[in-house]
Structure 1
């Protein structure tokens, strides 16, 4: 398994939070030479599998593909706009999908559960010293047809995973976006009831 990286706090939070969360960010500058091991990719998917789920229905499906595979190329080929300019450098791509029939009477929370699975995968990737960038700009039909998925599989997001690259090999536009200030709304604007 990958050596766990020491955490350096990247974000200034309003109150202290776990370092792994305070350091999280979503760069686009991935190291095109980094190869993710099968074990590391499996551990990221395993973290997603153990996410909380309403009624334990687990209404999700994951399609994980390492760079250099036909599956990776299919997923990368589905990406729209600027996503297609940088995501091919990632070490792996994971499609996060729902399978509504698994949701049963808890179907109202399918997408919420899938979001928790993606968050768990993100934290596991960070724990391994990797970076993640999630994307909504893709054509689900390209993924469904290219990977021969059944109609009941609904791809909702694609996650790029890899090692961050801040070298000159990263195109300037991507590096510039990665260096931009990150901001969050202040707590006073997101906490609706005082505690």
Structure 2
């Protein structure tokens, strides 16, 4: 097996942050090995503790394990380029968000934001556990709504794959060279005190 990239050896923060933020990245190479139920539920437990507006907790997660009856439906939602590497994932998931407040039925303008926070918790927990967690927009959103019976009051936000690290050499050739932690823009390019001035 090829050596896995060590994110801490190629990423350096400009200011001190927790190493977990640098360790988290989105590999594609997975081993095909299953996850234990307790491991998977630890990821969802972390997601559960995300902050949300009025404590709405408007995120929902649908998932399928590989080699189970639901797998084909989830795998069939993926765009072809993502199917090329997701076949060895242990789990495929879909992130949803409730578009209205449960407390009064009014539109919730930050449902997407809050559900993204829950997914971030899940992905950081995965990094802490040494797992691959890779989010994706490359799938059929409308088909996901239809085939997974998602009510209209929920937005289909994203998909993700979870698994154990695999050998990057097993990836399609065009993906192998991308199988490394990426850098980030400097803080000065993403932060501005006062009005927009980028």
TM-score, normalising length: structure 1: 0.86
How far off is 1:169 after superposition?
Answer: 2.7
Cα distance per residue 1:36-63 (max 9 Å; x no partner): 1111111111211221001111112110
1:31/1:163 contact within 8 Å kept? yes
- CA gap of 1:102–1:94, structure 2 versus 1, over 3 A, is farther
Partner of 2:94: 95
Cα distance per residue 1:51-86 (max 9 Å; x no partner): 100111111211022111232221111111411211
2:99/2:107 contact within 8 Å kept? no
Q: Aligned equivalents of 2:80 and 2:7: distance in 1?
A: 32
Partner of 1:162: 163
How far off is 1:27 after superposition?
Answer: 0.9
Q: Aligned equivalents of 1:188 and 1:73: distance in 2?
A: 44
1:146 aligns with 2:147: yes
Q: Aligned equivalents of 1:85 and 1:127: distance in 2?
A: 26
Partner of 1:136: 137
Report how many residues are paired.
186
2:134/2:162 contact within 8 Å kept? yes
Partner of 1:187: 187
2:100/2:106 contact within 8 Å kept? no
Answer with 137-146 or 20-29: which moved more: 137-146
> What are the ranges of 5 or more consecutive residues in structure 2 without an aligned counterpart?
1-5
Structure number with higher relative contact order (C-alpha < 8 Å, ≥ 6 residues apart)? 2
> What are the ranges of 5 or more consecutive residues in structure 1 without an aligned counterpart?
1-6
Task: Determine helix, strand or coil for the equivalent of 1:82.
Answer: helix
2:30/2:163 contact within 8 Å kept? yes
- CA gap of 1:188–1:8, structure 2 versus 1, over 3 A, is closer
1:8/1:19 contact within 8 Å kept? no
2:94/2:158 contact within 8 Å kept? yes
Cα distance per residue 1:88-126 (max 9 Å; x no partner): 221111110012134645701100000000000001111
Q: As a proportion of its length, which structure holds more helix?
A: 1
RMSD: 2.1
Partner of 2:3: none
